[in-house]
């Protein structure tokens, strides 16, 4: 139940509860001679009273001594013992002897009980796997099941946990008939341990995993299967306690969580916090499973609808960079890690930089405003193309020359107008501001494998660099860097450190990148993109929304030139003037449409709308609270991206 924590018994707790009817509706009964021996070994412990009782002394036997005996006794007490006399031995009291015997008995009983606990026949040690029940548990660190710590979401869901299992072990020299034993084991263990011949090799000490009279036949065996192996009663075959890593929520946040293999941890939280988890400590994430599911569904739908190669996205808290959701489509299930293609296992939000395209124009505007190179009131004559050095830069659509201020340029995503603003600023100051936003360096996220991207130093610029870098070409950023930069635009101008674990939050304001005034101006510009410009499909009833579309041409890896594939994206935050969350959606190589407002903005709207409602963020635009959601764009049956290319 929400808000309630119930104390659960550890799965390896062997205490008997006569009221426990969770197994077959009856209290547990130990069967057979082995069970009888267990019952015989049980000891009834009677607590001692706090005060030590006075033991009654037997009456002293009176002895009549002769005067000479009395004289000798008296003289011996004053003159000391002669060298040949021995000190009388003190008899050991019956009470002390009982204490010694009792202590030895208790130690033996404890060791025997532990041996029974480690037995495969003990159902409390080996419990069946129950994914749904396990996923819904909210368990404190002190109630953890096994050695390696669990990974929890912010809402208390287990994303990774270690479960008790069994390891089938062979002692080859004790096995009388390896062939028959291998056949019997193969029927129970199935493909996990190999075929009959492979198992036979292990039983004879010739197979992989055999060493010095000890051979591992199978690891991570489920409890029921382990019990079946034990029932075979094969001489030289035993089952010992083992541990298997399970991912109760299946494919949810797989790239972020990472995977624990038999040799090492691979990627995500499993790898980054490997030492912490190995030490038995749990790791709690800032990720919320409800928002994560919403994001994963939106990405899958966007990629499917527009025939995209893949999609990725994240939801971040604007104030401090806490990652609430981070997802990729297609995903995979860490429970079937070895079967998943290598390409889908990578956390591309960290590892794969790309040219961001028009989403980067907001940083050009912020830099020019911060440096005083332009003002909100300045106007520019914007044509639909312009020469820059040896290239001609075009806008995405043909249009007559128009007079636009910086807000209008951003609102309509004009390439030519953005370059004119950058020229007023100058390339050197533009690079300085780009670096201040954190591009070209690690964000500091508490995950490994982060790529820093490429920001060409001003000294290495060509004549045409001023025509492509301001509009998000000629440099590369990771999606995480882009989100971190937008958080600074939204939160009043402060750097944030993205993080996925609660303990990684710095708790202190980051370094100032731009002034609060510049941040406020840019927020207004980005709001106009959604209210009146290219981002209208991102509108959410009841809320002001700010954001920017992006359609970035990809470089062909073979030719090194721009090809005919694109990354289409939308990034934004809400509420626009008092932002709480930002969301990034990017679809790689969509085939049916090209523009960010068509492909990515609707997915952004769905995820951001859910997030605002889920966290009870108050609406800030009452006039549209009861409006119907903006309808998704309708594509022609034969629509393709070429229809959008100028």
Question: What are the pLDDT digits (tens) for 590-626?
Answer: 999 989 999 999 999 999 999 999 999 999 998 888 8
Do 308 and 270 share a domain, yes or no? no
pLDDT at residue 471 tops 90: yes
Do 156 and 300 share a domain, yes or no? no
Region of poorest pLDDT, from 179-193, 403-417, 632-646? 632-646
Do 275 and 397 share a domain, yes or no? no
Domain-embedded: residue 511? yes
Most confident segment among 28-42, 95-109, 472-486: 472-486
User: Do residues 148 and 141 make contact, with C-beta atoms less than 8 angstroms apart?
Assistant: no
State pLDDT tens for residues 152-175. Answer: 999 999 999 998 888 999 999 899
Q: How far is CA 298 from the centre of its chain?
A: 20
Domain-embedded: residue 529? yes
pLDDT at residue 69 tops 70: no
User: Do residues 420 and 402 make contact, with C-beta atoms less than 8 angstroms apart?
Assistant: no
| Rounded Cα gap, residues 92 and 77, in angstroms | 25
Do 299 and 268 share a domain, yes or no? no
- Would you state the pLDDT for residue 440? 97
Q: Give the CA dihedral 270, 271, 276, 279, nearest 10 degrees.
A: 80
Do 464 and 558 share a domain, yes or no? yes
pLDDT at residue 129 tops 70: no
Percent of the chain with pLDDT over 90: 63
Domain-embedded: residue 490? yes
- Would you state the pLDDT for residue 156? 96
| Rounded Cα gap, residues 569 and 632, in angstroms | 16
Identify the domain containing residue 582 by its residue range: 292-644
The last residue of a domain, from among 284, 318, 350:
284
The last residue of a domain, from among 268, 284, 300:
284
Do 211 and 321 share a domain, yes or no? no
Do 364 and 241 share a domain, yes or no? no
Alpha helices in 118-156 (DSSP H): 131-136
Question: Stretch 337-361: mean pLDDT, rounded?
Answer: 96
Query: CATH number of the domain that 142 lies in?
Result: 3.90.1310.10
Domain-embedded: residue 595? yes
Question: Stretch 194-218: mean pLDDT, rounded?
Answer: 79
Do 296 and 279 share a domain, yes or no? no
Region of poorest pLDDT, from 62-71, 186-195, 425-434, 542-551? 62-71
Q: Give the CA dihedral 575, 598, 450, 480, nearest 10 degrees.
A: -10
pLDDT at residue 254 tops 90: yes
- Domains in the chain, number: 2
Do 273 and 340 share a domain, yes or no? no
Q: How far is CA 22 from the centre of its chain?
A: 31
- Would you state the pLDDT for residue 98? 57
| Rounded Cα gap, residues 147 and 624, in angstroms | 53
Q: Per the structure block, which two tokens stand in for 645?
A: 């290319």
| Rounded Cα gap, residues 123 and 23, in angstroms | 10
Region of poorest pLDDT, from 33-47, 198-212, 561-575, 615-629? 33-47
Question: Stretch 76-95: mean pLDDT, rounded?
Answer: 42
Do 358 and 394 share a domain, yes or no? yes
pLDDT at residue 408 tops 50: yes
| Rounded Cα gap, residues 100 and 103, in angstroms | 5
Report residue 360's pLDDT band, with 50, 70 and 90 as the boundaries: very high
Q: How many Cα atoms within 13 Å fall on the side-chain side of residue 139?
A: 24
Query: CATH number of the domain that 316 lies in?
Result: 3.40.710.10
Domain-embedded: residue 45? no
Do 363 and 252 share a domain, yes or no? no
Question: Is 466 strand, coil or helix?
Answer: helix
DSSP 591: S
Domain-embedded: residue 118? no
Nearest to 358 by CA among 601, 606, 631, 531: 601
- Would you state the pLDDT for residue 105? 52
- Concatenate the DSSP letters of all residues of 192-240 into one string: GG--HHHHHHHHTT-STTEETTEEEEEEEE-HHHHHHHHHH--TTEEEE
| Rounded Cα gap, residues 305 and 307, in angstroms | 6
State pLDDT tens for residues 208-234. Answer: 555 557 788 998 888 899 999 999 999
pLDDT at residue 253 tops 60: yes
Average pLDDT, the chain: 81
Domain-embedded: residue 14? no
| Rounded Cα gap, residues 564 and 597, in angstroms | 19
Q: Which residues contact 151 (CB under 8 A, 6 or more apart)?
A: 158, 159, 160, 161, 257, 269, 270, 273, 277, 282, 283, 285
User: Do residues 224 and 161 make contact, with C-beta atoms less than 8 angstroms apart?
Assistant: no
Nearest to 120 by CA among 12, 230, 10: 230
Residue 95 has a CB neighbour count (10 Å cut-off) of 9
At residue 228's C-alpha, the angle toward residues 227 and 230, to 5°, is 65
Residue 267 has a CB neighbour count (10 Å cut-off) of 23
pLDDT at residue 420 tops 70: yes
The last residue of a domain, from among 233, 262, 284:
284
- Would you state the pLDDT for residue 107? 45
Do 148 and 239 share a domain, yes or no? yes
pLDDT at residue 515 tops 70: yes
pLDDT at residue 51 tops 50: no
Domain-embedded: residue 15? no
- Would you state the pLDDT for residue 641? 61
Report residue 504's pLDDT band, with 50, 70 and 90 as the boundaries: confident
pLDDT at residue 88 tops 60: no
């Amino acid at each position: 139940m929400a808000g309630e924590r119930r104390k659960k018994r550890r799965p390896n707790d062997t205490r008997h509860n006569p009221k426990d009817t969770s197994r077959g509706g009856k209290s547990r009964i130990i069967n057979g001679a082995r069970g009888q021996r267990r019952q015989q070994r049980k000891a009834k412990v009677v607590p001692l009273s706090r005060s030590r009782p006075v033991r009654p002394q037997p009456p002293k036997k009176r002895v009549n001594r002769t005067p000479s005996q009395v004289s000798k006794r008296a003289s011996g007490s004053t003159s000391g013992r002669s060298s040949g006399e021995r000190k009388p031995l003190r008899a050991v009291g019956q009470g002390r002897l009982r204490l010694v015997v009792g202590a030895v008995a208790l130690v033996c009983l404890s060791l025997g009980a532990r041996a029974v606990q480690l037995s495969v026949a003990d159902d409390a040690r080996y419990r069946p796997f129950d994914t749904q029940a396990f996923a819904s548990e909210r368990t404190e660190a002190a109630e953890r099941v096994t050695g390696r710590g669990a990974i929890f979401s912010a809402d208390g869901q287990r994303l990774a946990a270690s479960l008790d299992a069994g390891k089938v072990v062979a002692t080859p020299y004790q096995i009388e008939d390896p062939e028959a034993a291998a056949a019997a084991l193969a029927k129970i263990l199935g493909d996990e341990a190999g075929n009959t011949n492979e198992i036979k090799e292990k039983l004879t000490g010739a197979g992989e995993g055999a060493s010095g009279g000890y051979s591992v036949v199978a690891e991570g065996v489920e409890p029921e299967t382990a019990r079946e192996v034990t029932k075979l009663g094969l001489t030289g075959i035993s089952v010992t306690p083992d541990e298997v890593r399970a991912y109760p929520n299946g494919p949810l946040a797989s790239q972020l969580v990472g995977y624990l293999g038999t040799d090492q941890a691979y990627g995500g939280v499993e790898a980054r916090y490997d030492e912490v988890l190995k030490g038995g400590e749990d790791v709690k994430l800032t990720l919320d499973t409800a928002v994560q599911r919403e994001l994963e569904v939106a990405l899958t739908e966007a990629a499917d609808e527009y025939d995209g190669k893949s999609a990725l996205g994240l939801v971040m808290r604007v104030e401090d960079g806490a990652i609430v959701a981070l997802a990729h489509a297609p995903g995979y299930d860490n429970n079937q890690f070895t079967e998943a293609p290598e390409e889908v296992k990578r956390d591309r939000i960290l590892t794969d930089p790309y040219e961001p395209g028009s989403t980067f124009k907001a940083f050009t505007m912020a830099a020019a405003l911060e440096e005083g190179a332009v003002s909100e009131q300045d106007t520019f004559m914007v044509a639909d193309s312009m020469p820059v050095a040896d290239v001609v830069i075009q806008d995405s659509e043909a249009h007559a020359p128009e007079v636009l201020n910086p807000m209008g340029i951003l609102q309509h995503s004009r390439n030519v107008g953005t370059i004119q603003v950058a020229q007023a600023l100058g390339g050197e100051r533009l690079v300085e501001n780009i670096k201040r936003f954190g591009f070209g360096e690690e964000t500091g996220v508490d995950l490994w494998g982060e790529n820093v991207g490429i920001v060409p130093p001003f000294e290495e610029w060509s004549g045409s660099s001023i025509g492509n870098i301001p509009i998000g070409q000629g440099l590369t950023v990771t999606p995480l860097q882009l989100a971190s930069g937008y958080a600074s635009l939204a939160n009043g101008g402060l750097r944030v450190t993205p993080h996925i674990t609660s303990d990684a939050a710095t708790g202190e304001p980051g370094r100032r990148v731009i002034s609060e005034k510049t941040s406020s101006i840019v927020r207004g510009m980005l709001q106009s993109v959604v209210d009146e410009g290219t981002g209208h499909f991102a509108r959410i009833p009841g809320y002001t929304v700010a954001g920017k579309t992006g359609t970035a041409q990809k470089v062909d890896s073979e030719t090194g030139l721009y090809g005919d594939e694109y990354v289409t994206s939308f990034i934004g935050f809400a509420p626009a003037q008092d932002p709480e969350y930002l969301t990034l959606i990017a679809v790689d190589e969509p085939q049916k449409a090209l523009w960010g407002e068509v492909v990515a903005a609707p997915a952004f709207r769905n995820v951001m709308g859910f997030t605002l409602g889920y966290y009870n963020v108050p609406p800030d635009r009452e006039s549209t609270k009861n409006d119907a959601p903006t309808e998704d764009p309708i594509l022609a049956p034969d629509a393709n991206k070429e229809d959008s290319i100028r």
